[in-house]
Amino acid sequence: MKIQPPKRPLQFLRWFCREDYLDEIEGDLIEVFIKQSETSPRKAKWKFAWSVIKYFRPAFIKQMKQQPNPYGMYKSYFKISVRQLIKNKTFTAINISVLTLGFTCFLLLALYLHDELSFDMFHRDAHTIYRITQRDQQDNGTLRNISAVAPTIGKEVQEQFPEVEDMVRLSAFGRVTLGNDPTNRTHERALSADDNFFTFFDFPLVEGDAKTALKEPFTIVVSETIKEKYFGTGSALGKQIWSGYRREGQPIYLTVGGVMKNFPKNSHLQIDILFSDATWHSLYNDYAQYVTTEWVDTEYTTYLKIKPQSNIASLGTRIDALVKSNYPANREFRSSFTLQPMQEIHTNSSQLESAADEFNANGIKPFYLYTFAALGLILLITACLNYMNLATAVAIKRTREIGTRKTLGAPKTQMVAQFITDSMLFTLLSLLLSVALVYLVLPWINIFANKEISISALPVEWLIFVVVIIVLVGVLAALYPAFIATRVSIVDALKREIKIGGRSFSVRKALLIMQFAISVMMIASTLIIYQQLNYLREKDLGFSHENLVVIDVNSRNLRRNFETVKTEFGKPAEILQVAASTRVPGEWKSFPVATTRSSENPTGSEMIFVGIDKDFLETYKIKLLAGRSIEDPVADSLKIVVTQLAVEQLGLISDPIGQTIEIPRVRYGERMEELEAPFRVEIIGVVENFHFESLRSKQMPVIFGALNTEIQVIDYYTLQINTSNWGNTLETLKAINNKIDPDTPLEYTFLDTRFEEMYVADARRGQIFLVLSVIVVIIASLGLFALVSYSVESRLKEIGVRKVMGASISSIVALISKEFLLLVTIAGAIGLPIAGYFMQGWLQEFAYHIPFGVLVFAEALLVTLVIAFITITARTIRAARLNPVNSLRSE
């Protein structure tokens, strides 16, 4: 075997060397190499390689193919693309709106997701903060999860476990009246925290020192909003504010220890006023003892800062053991504790009860996050697929251009570059538009979703990621039409006879069906939601809730001498009626439910028990069917008025009046209270049924008794008002209230607003569905438009021939629409059952709902078909009206 020169250098030489010299050089080098390798083969190889490298100089390097100046070509691509945009105005508009819509939704959802995922992450130590949660097994076997624990636990855990670096406890102490101006006082939530709250968390203080703001008793830290409410602009630090708390009969003044920036919306804590924990030590004598010895109560939301790399799970079990060993001997320990990481609080707290709403605000289920992420991607992809269809349709129109380019020798890459330039132009234009659109709609969305999302909050990585995705998708969407268009033969292109993507057409049909299935689903759901909302609004509740103002009784002064209070409130001319009662319809506090039994119904049924005075039925316009109402609270204290439903359930239909029934026990929310002796009352009247609660729950029977029975005390005044100037009337009411009780502000509610609020979540759902339906329908319609365009463009010649043969415009429109309307109908057949399934579930939440019929689905399908038909016609009619000369001329 002859010695071979090393391969790689030789390859390299052959790659770069001028062809006319190559043979000679190669020959020379090999000759030298062979000669040398006789003495030292190793050295020869190195020498050979080195020589090759030395040949790598301009004189021997091959002339690389001379490129024409590419700039001119880019300019041409751009120019042609712009001309194309201007030439096909409709297509351009539709293309850009398709992409803009998709991008906008994608951007918004990305912003939303980022906001949700960055919840609570503004705290420096967010990754080491944990909240203690407790799981209790209750008497009836069910589990109760609470995000608050006993006060001792936090303290002991911090002292006994070295990995716990810091601890802070929050608690809620009901409500307190605040305000220096006696005519303008309000109830505020009294939330309190340990004094290290502001060093533990990173809620910045505008005024005051984070270390000492909550040290002293009777100091509060208020948010900027609250500061402005009570102190106006300017500094509030050190100022005093009157509070409803009393010591030795004197009102206590609280000192402002600090002003905190309003809590960001992406915090699970939403606190406006924070009391120092020391306040309770000074206010309540036994507080110190309670805090150091209570191991059962779940009132303190406790956060721990834990050293990194600690075993969190084992810490939980050690807390179990700690609490167990300290548990009161007379109680069975059935709890377990877990540490919930800060970043999970927002997404993983829906099953948790919390000590106060302010400590667990705005939670969301992770399911929704996944749904939103999926939705964003689906919208983006659909928009791009629609764009792809449209662009392909346009590409067919441009076949002659493509043919000409090919004839003149344009390489494939150049044509692909042309299409990509087109698409990039669209993508960038749409991207700019959608960013502008996002800026426009974001404030609206922030109000709607109660968020503080801003584009600038998005970190650069996210921004780059989003833009890259969008541009990438834009380019990919361009590649398909580009390759389709460049693959056709020159002759076909020039003859404008292109049959492209025959098989992929069915994929596109499937895609269209999917889009319309979703559209139909959304339309049907929206229709059902709105019909149900309307039903809720219109439904006769059995009483009037219009022009009624309910005054919440919060003080003893207002509760005592209710006759005097009633007369006072009744004095102004615009107040038609005043009624006092223990509870009012549309109740938001829990109401007492009495187990009521009669001789016919010895086990008893649960009935809402409300104490009323003589004016109640008239104020609420509840119809008395038989007998009389409660007239005198003393004389009628053992008499009751019941609803028809109560009569039925008690089995006293024949003659209820004068019957005596028994109430052995009363339930307040979850708490059952056995009365010492059954409360025996006589029925003196029967009223028509009415809905005491929201229409979500089944109508319950109601018993009206006298006020101040053993079951409950007076809690509300209801005023029937006829006024044209609500502002004035409310001022009058406030003045009256102030005269009776200067310490307590007037708390009032409009009853009809109350009822509206019961369905506020549903109304919001309705709005979301409406907006989403519109977007989905627009996207689907544009998709349909694209597909129809595509179909029409490739059938232009057929249409021309048909017209020549005498086909009418309408028959041509019908010919093309038929196929697509069929697709939409199939979509309906898929989408409607799904919508039906989900909406039935939703309607089941209401004890009273609209009948679940076929009609609404027929409506939804009809709406979709009409939209689809308009879309199709808009496109086909133009093609159908085209002079056949134009489409047939090319032969």
Partner 1 sequence: MKNYQLGEFEEIVLLTVGILNNEAYSVAIKDEIESRLKRTVSMGALHTALIRLEDKGYLKSFSGESTEDRAGRPRRYFEITALGKKAMLYAKETREQLWKAIPKAVLEVSLQKLAVSSHQ
Where along the sequence are the contacts to partner 1 (CB under 8 A)? Answer: 5, 21, 23-32, 34-35, 51, 54-55, 57, 59-60
Q: Are 711 and 705 a contacting pair, CB within 8 Å?
A: yes
Query: Which CB, 32 or 843, lies closer to partner 1?
Result: 32
* Chain CA centroid to CA 459, Å: 21
In whole angstroms, the minimum distance from the beta carbon of 41 to partner 1 comes to 15
Q: What is the secondary structure of 44-60 as a DSSP string?
A: HHHHHHHHHHHH-STTT
Q: Are 266 and 183 a contacting pair, CB within 8 Å?
A: no
**If we measure between CA atoms, which residue out of 279, 247, 273, 245 comes closest to residue 260?**
273
Query: Which CB, 40 or 292, lies closer to partner 1?
Result: 40
Query: Which CB, 34 or 416, lies closer to partner 1?
Result: 34
Q: Are 391 and 423 a contacting pair, CB within 8 Å?
A: yes
* Alpha carbons 760 and 766: distance in angstroms, whole number: 10
Maximum CA pair distance of the chain? 135
Query: Which CB, 34 or 843, lies closer to partner 1?
Result: 34
In whole angstroms, the minimum distance from the beta carbon of 78 to partner 1 comes to 44
Q: Are 746 and 551 a contacting pair, CB within 8 Å?
A: yes
The separation between the first and the last C-alpha atoms of the chain, rounded to the nearest angstrom, is 69
> Residue 549, SS3?
strand
**If we measure between CA atoms, which residue out of 112, 491, 96, 54 comes closest to residue 266?**
112
In whole angstroms, the minimum distance from the beta carbon of 85 to partner 1 comes to 54
Report in angstroms the alpha-carbon separations of 104 from 435, 436, 439: 7, 9, 10
DSSP letter assigned to residue 683: E
In whole angstroms, the minimum distance from the beta carbon of 425 to partner 1 comes to 50
Query: Which CB, 10 or 548, lies closer to partner 1?
Result: 10
* Alpha carbons 835 and 402: distance in angstroms, whole number: 46
In whole angstroms, the minimum distance from the beta carbon of 18 to partner 1 comes to 10
In whole angstroms, the minimum distance from the beta carbon of 40 to partner 1 comes to 16
Query: Which CB, 58 or 162, lies closer to partner 1?
Result: 58
Query: Which CB, 25 or 533, lies closer to partner 1?
Result: 25
In whole angstroms, the minimum distance from the beta carbon of 428 to partner 1 comes to 50
Beta strands 660-668 and 301-306 are unpaired
Q: Are 790 and 387 a contacting pair, CB within 8 Å?
A: no
> Residue 746, SS3?
coil
Query: Which CB, 7 or 54, lies closer to partner 1?
Result: 54
In whole angstroms, the minimum distance from the beta carbon of 19 to partner 1 comes to 13
In whole angstroms, the minimum distance from the beta carbon of 11 to partner 1 comes to 15
Query: Which CB, 22 or 467, lies closer to partner 1?
Result: 22
* Alpha carbons 507 and 504: distance in angstroms, whole number: 5
In whole angstroms, the minimum distance from the beta carbon of 14 to partner 1 comes to 12
Query: Which CB, 37 or 100, lies closer to partner 1?
Result: 37
Report in angstroms the alpha-carbon separations of 286 from 189, 292, 293, 364: 22, 10, 11, 38
Query: Which CB, 22 or 441, lies closer to partner 1?
Result: 22
Q: State which amino acid sits at residue 409.
A: G
Query: Which CB, 59 or 86, lies closer to partner 1?
Result: 59
Query: Which CB, 23 or 546, lies closer to partner 1?
Result: 23
In whole angstroms, the minimum distance from the beta carbon of 396 to partner 1 comes to 56
In whole angstroms, the minimum distance from the beta carbon of 55 to partner 1 comes to 5
Query: Which CB, 30 or 117, lies closer to partner 1?
Result: 30
In whole angstroms, the minimum distance from the beta carbon of 44 to partner 1 comes to 13
| Dihedral-angle region of residue 744 (phi above 0 means left; psi in -120 to 50 means alpha; beta otherwise) | beta
Q: Map tokens 């615009």 to a residue.
A: 574
Q: State which amino acid sits at residue 196.
A: N
In whole angstroms, the minimum distance from the beta carbon of 15 to partner 1 comes to 16
* Chain CA centroid to CA 216, Å: 40
In whole angstroms, the minimum distance from the beta carbon of 36 to partner 1 comes to 11
Query: Which CB, 10 or 733, lies closer to partner 1?
Result: 10
Radius of gyration of the chain from its Cα atoms, rounded to whole angstroms: 39
Report in angstroms the alpha-carbon separations of 174 from 90, 197, 815, 835: 63, 20, 71, 43
In whole angstroms, the minimum distance from the beta carbon of 53 to partner 1 comes to 9
Q: What is the secondary structure of 608-635 as a DSSP string?
A: EEEEE-TTHHHHTTPPEEEE-----TTT
* Chain CA centroid to CA 765, Å: 10
Query: Which CB, 48 or 245, lies closer to partner 1?
Result: 48
Q: What is the secondary structure of 143-161 as a DSSP string?
A: EEEES-B-HHHHHHHHHH-
Percent of the chain that is helix, strand, coil (3-state, to 5): 50, 20, 30
In whole angstroms, the minimum distance from the beta carbon of 47 to partner 1 comes to 10
**If we measure between CA atoms, which residue out of 592, 620, 618, 622 comes closest to residue 607?**
592
Q: Which helix (H) or strand (E) holds 304?
A: strand 301-306
- 621-624: long-range contacts (C-beta < 8 A, 24 or more apart)? 621/543, 621/544, 622/542, 622/543, 622/687, 622/688, 622/690, 623/687, 623/688, 624/685, 624/686, 624/687
Q: State which amino acid sits at residue 106.
A: F
Query: Which CB, 59 or 761, lies closer to partner 1?
Result: 59
Polymer length of the chain: 891
* Alpha carbons 743 and 568: distance in angstroms, whole number: 17
Which pair of structure tokens corresponds to residue 807?
């086909």
Which pair of structure tokens corresponds to residue 459?
């970190």
Query: Which CB, 57 or 739, lies closer to partner 1?
Result: 57
In whole angstroms, the minimum distance from the beta carbon of 488 to partner 1 comes to 47
